[in-house]
Structure 1
Amino acid sequence: MALILISTALLALGSLARAAVAMPNLAVGPQYVTTHVYVAPRDIDRFVESFVTTFGGTATKKQLVNVTPTPSTTEWRAVASPVGALSVFGFTTPYPWPFGAERNGFLVSDFDAAVKAAHANGAGFLTAPFEDPIGRDAVIQWPGGVNMQIYWHKKAPHSPALAAIPENRVYVAPEQADAFIRAYLAFSQGKVIKDDRKAPGIEIGEPFNIFRRVLIDSGFGKTLVFATDGQMPYPWGRETTGYEVKDLDATILKAEAAGVYVRVEPINAAGRLTSFFEFPGGYTAEVHTAAP
């Protein structure tokens, strides 16, 4: 009887292993992970120009579209830069929930498989799958309250590789960090690069505290998880993306000339010089370079 039970257990483990290997790689590439930026329509052009001036890249012309499953209208521009892509929305109508609360969009190679994988790994669907003019979309929520979009295009886009892969910066409660990490790793087929449970709090504006900092890498790019007590000063926690540059001082000069406000002057933390920029329209981003 014991041998039968052991054999059954081994067969079950083998099936799970085969299932894990057989799961498709859903990521298309980090250059297709778009940070979602919501600004007032009057600010959309100023924001896009300041971002491109700061980091380089190109932007599409402004279009008036409906990107939600219910009636709404937004001015929209896409930005492709060497440090990451953006989808910029300036809604001319109120935008329906949960739009505006999602941090970014992940292009997936197989939309139905992505929906199945998200369900299987604990994601809730804030917006059920729907069609847009060029593909399909859904807004999902991971354990810990992390909202994001998955999307697929009927015509596959083609974008060059990035000069530097941006960080998807995620803040979660300490007691929910493991649940988020497990779910996200399974969905993204990523791996933990570093799990520091005593990271210096200066990196999140709490110089006399410590926190848990987890770096994940996957086909969707870098994800940096901050498990904190939530008692951080502004603007920590407001940023969704961190951008890597070669020369932070030179980037600050370009940003300020473009009307960007440097919220946090460069500080040395976690082996990098890090700063926070606030762009016209209110978009806040972390910007960093390797420390000397």
Structure 2
Amino acid sequence: MRLIPVLAAAVVAGSLTTAQARPAAAPAVAVAPQYGTTHVYVAPSDLDRFVASFLATFGGQSTKQVVATVTPTPSSTTSQLLQTPVGTVSLFGFKTPIPTPFGAERNGYLVSDIDAAVKSARAAGADVIVETFPDPIGRDVVVQWPGGVNMQLYWHTTKPNYAAFQTVPENRIYVSRERADAFVRSFQRFAHAKVVSDDARAPGAEIGRPKDTYRRIRLEAAFGKFTVLSTDGHLPYPYGREMTGYEVTNLSDTLDKARAAGVTVLVEPYTADHRQAAVVQFPGGYIAEIHAAVK
């Protein structure tokens, strides 16, 4: 689905070997990390509270709210873009029932050529679950990667111009143990991503199970950062519900701002893998991870 008037992004991928990371046949279609957005759906009655709390927590601004049809079938939603120094949200408040499979796509990524992107995604092993459709400012498509990971790709008729992030957010992707390697290979081939780390015994505190370990793969690409969490699916709430991790300079200060703005801290700060992290829920139900580097 397309955010009006502006949206962005491009998809990313992971890999197991450097040789697999940049196959010659795969075109580079990413634009830049600041054109990637997290898709957030809230009830129209919660829109104002969500916007106020999100911007109070991270700073930034919102585009003007408009009402539009952003799906290939009839629907109506409010649409606006929340742009902060640490991440961007495409916010939707549907006035009609949401057509399937919209609402299940986690992110949107701007691509330089949508036809080339679709061809490349298919060649990399993705399913096209919503074929390319027009919107008022470009074209869109929804793809599904191995492991059931839905993402939207966008192309703008007129290329947008957004300021770079101060810190690049991470797309947090939970997949099964059986499909982790398939997801990483497929996604990496498409996005020309590099594997930053692949830890088979990452601390279970990161998924709410401090006595256990799990596999964590970190990826980086021109689209941004990605963390693949490969688990047995035994996840205590709210783990697995947070789609994006926002990096801030000072976690304590950010959480103070969040609480003052009506945000609920679901997981109190903990330290693991050289970062301090917490999980929060904004008014309207959106759940996110927030973290800061620990030196």
AA aligned to 2:213 is I
AA aligned to 1:272 is R
What is the match of residue 4 of structure 2?
Answer: none
Query: Which residues of structure 1 form unaligned runs of 5+?
Result: 1-15
Map 1:139-158 onto structure 2 (within 5 A).
139-158=142-161
Shift of 1:291: 2.1
Shift of 1:125: 1.1
Shift of 1:77: 1.1
Q: Tell me the secondary structure at the aligned position of residue 215 of structure 2.
A: strand
Q: Tell me the secondary structure at the aligned position of residue 179 of structure 2.
A: helix
Shift of 1:23: 3.5
Q: Does 1:118 align with 2:121?
A: yes
Task: Tell me the alpha carbon deviations over residues 226-250 of structure 1, each in whole angstroms, 9 at most, x when there is no partner.
Answer: 0001111111000100000000010
Q: CA–CA distance in 2 between the matches of 1:251 and 1:20?
A: 41
Q: CA–CA distance in 2 between the matches of 1:190 and 1:290?
A: 22
Task: Tell me the alpha carbon deviations over residues 25-81 of structure 1, each in whole angstroms, 9 at most, x when there is no partner.
Answer: 111001000100000011112111111110011101211000000000001111111
Bigger Rg, which one: 1
AA aligned to 2:112 is S
Q: CA–CA distance in 2 between the matches of 1:20 and 1:192?
A: 15
What is the match of residue 93 of structure 2?
Answer: 90
Q: CA–CA distance in 2 between the matches of 1:115 and 1:283?
A: 29
Q: CA–CA distance in 2 between the matches of 1:67 and 1:177?
A: 31
Query: Which residues of structure 2 form unaligned runs of 5+?
Result: 1-18
Q: Does 1:273 align with 2:286?
A: no
Deviates more, 1:60-69 or 1:22-31: 22-31
What is the match of residue 219 of structure 1?
Answer: 222
TM-score (norm 1): 0.92
Task: Kindly report the root-mean-square deviation, in angstroms, between the aligned alpha carbons of the 2 structures.
Answer: 1.4
Whether contact under 8 Å (2:26, 2:190) holds in the other structure is: no
Q: CA–CA distance in 2 between the matches of 1:38 and 1:286?
A: 17
AA aligned to 1:37 is V
Shift of 1:189: 0.4
Q: CA–CA distance in 1 between the matches of 2:149 and 2:257?
A: 32
> Which of residues 190, 201, 205 is equivalent to 2:204?
201
AA aligned to 2:82 is V
TM-score (norm 2): 0.91
What is the match of residue 102 of structure 1?
Answer: 105
Map 1:1-292 onto structure 2 (within 5 A).
20-21=23-24, 23-292=26-295
Q: CA–CA distance in 2 between the matches of 1:64 and 1:182?
A: 39
Shift of 1:271: 1.2
Percent same amino acid among aligned pairs? 56
AA aligned to 1:21 is A
Q: Tell me the secondary structure at the aligned position of residue 292 of structure 2.
A: strand
Higher relative contact order (CA 8 A, sep 6+): 2
Shift of 1:22: 5.5
